[in-house]
Amino acid sequence: MKKLNTKERSKEVEIMDDFDLKGKQLERTLRDLEHINAWLGGNQITIQGLAKHLKNQPKDKEISIADIGCGNGAMLREIAVWAKKNKYRLKLIGVDANTHGIEIADKLAKNFPEIEFLALNLFSEDFKQIKFDVILCTLTLHHFKNEEIINILKLYTQQARLGVIVNDLQRSKIAYRLFKAFCGIFINNEIARKDGLISILRGFKKEELIAFSKQLPAQKHSINWKWAFRYQWIIQN
């Protein structure tokens, strides 16, 4: 049996990194990932961070929120429900490079007129020209190499008027083994299982996130561990 190594971030590629993944297979995998996040309370980490950004913002002013790597749009749908409950006026934009995922997200958000989706690669010039109030990066950062992460976050802090919220995985042996056991009981989807385990090994230690933060311009940073084995990183401009 191969020894589990969490000392450094894994370079193994996830199946979901293939932007040509489509059809029922993609739809089912995105749905299963949505359920995993719901069961483990992951989306609340992003919403808690968003609440901090919006705390001193007037509720009668429209605020633009972009979710980068939005998948099937589950995060934005949950935020839309939260915003209505808390009387915020939000314009919600989902951005993803997988055009097939964007089509799925569009269908699922048909009852949410405040949500729109853009099929864009975040490294494209078209994306770089867009400005937002807040950028969300939920379970997306671990898909990139360390040197790419710095460039991405520098771009986000330039694009986002209020700041950025990162919600991503802690890399740990305990998280890996618990997720493996969880999938053995609840998840009958090979892509979700395999990618979930790879994602954990591509996740972060707190000291790595702190090191990233020191390479960014002088913003205010808050990095905290959250259940289940996540880090919430709030960057305020």
Give residue-wise pLDDT tens across range 109-158.
999 999 999 999 999 999 999 999 999 999 999 999 999 999 999 999 99
In the β-sheet with 230-236, what is the strand arrangement from edge to edge?
Answer: 115-119, 90-96, 63-68, 132-138, 160-169, 230-236, 220-226
Q: What percent of the chain has pLDDT over 90?
A: 76
- Residue 214 carries which side chain, given as an amino acid letter? K
1 has pLDDT over 60? no
Q: What is the CATH number of the domain that holds 211?
A: 3.40.50.150
Mean pLDDT of 2-21: 82
Nearest to 167 by CA among 77, 88, 228: 228
For 151-192, the pLDDT digits (tens) are 999 999 999 999 999 999 999 999 999 999 988 777 777 888
Look at residue 2 and tell me if it is in a domain.
Answer: no
Look at residue 49 and tell me if it is in a domain.
Answer: yes
β-strands 63-68, 230-236: how paired?
unpaired
CB of 62 within 8 A of CB of 161? no
For 40-85, the pLDDT digits (tens) are 778 999 999 999 999 999 999 999 999 999 999 999 999 999 999 9
Look at residue 89 and tell me if it is in a domain.
Answer: yes
Comparing 220 with 32, which gets the higher pLDDT? 220
15 has pLDDT over 80? no
Look at residue 93 and tell me if it is in a domain.
Answer: yes
Residues 109/66/95/107 CA torsion (nearest 10 deg):
0
Q: Look at the chain and report how many structural domains it folds into.
A: 1
- Residues 44 and 79: their CA atoms lie apart, in Å, by 9
Look at residue 133 and tell me if it is in a domain.
Answer: yes
Q: Is the peptide bond before 175 cis (omega within 30 degrees of 0)?
A: no
**Residue-level pLDDT at 14:** 86
pTM over 0.85: yes
**Residue-level pLDDT at 21:** 66
- Residues 94 and 70: their CA atoms lie apart, in Å, by 5
Q: Which domain holds residue 125?
A: 15-236
Look at residue 220 and tell me if it is in a domain.
Answer: yes
231 has pLDDT over 80? yes
Q: Which residues pair with 160 in a beta bridge?
A: 132
Look at residue 164 and tell me if it is in a domain.
Answer: yes
CB of 192 within 8 A of CB of 129? no
Confidence tier at 224 by pLDDT (50, 70, 90): very high
Look at residue 176 and tell me if it is in a domain.
Answer: yes
Q: Position of tokens 């980490």?
A: 45
3-state secondary structure of 91: strand
**Residue-level pLDDT at 116:** 98
Task: Kindly report the average pLDDT of the chain as a whole number.
Answer: 92
Cite the beta strand spans of the chain per DSSP E: 63-68, 90-96, 115-119, 132-138, 160-169, 220-226, 230-236
**Residue-level pLDDT at 19:** 64
Q: Is the dihedral of CA 33, 38, 40, 43 positive or negative?
A: positive
Nearest to 133 by CA among 89, 183, 195: 89
Report DSSP state, residue 16: G
**Residue-level pLDDT at 85:** 97
**Residue-level pLDDT at 36:** 81
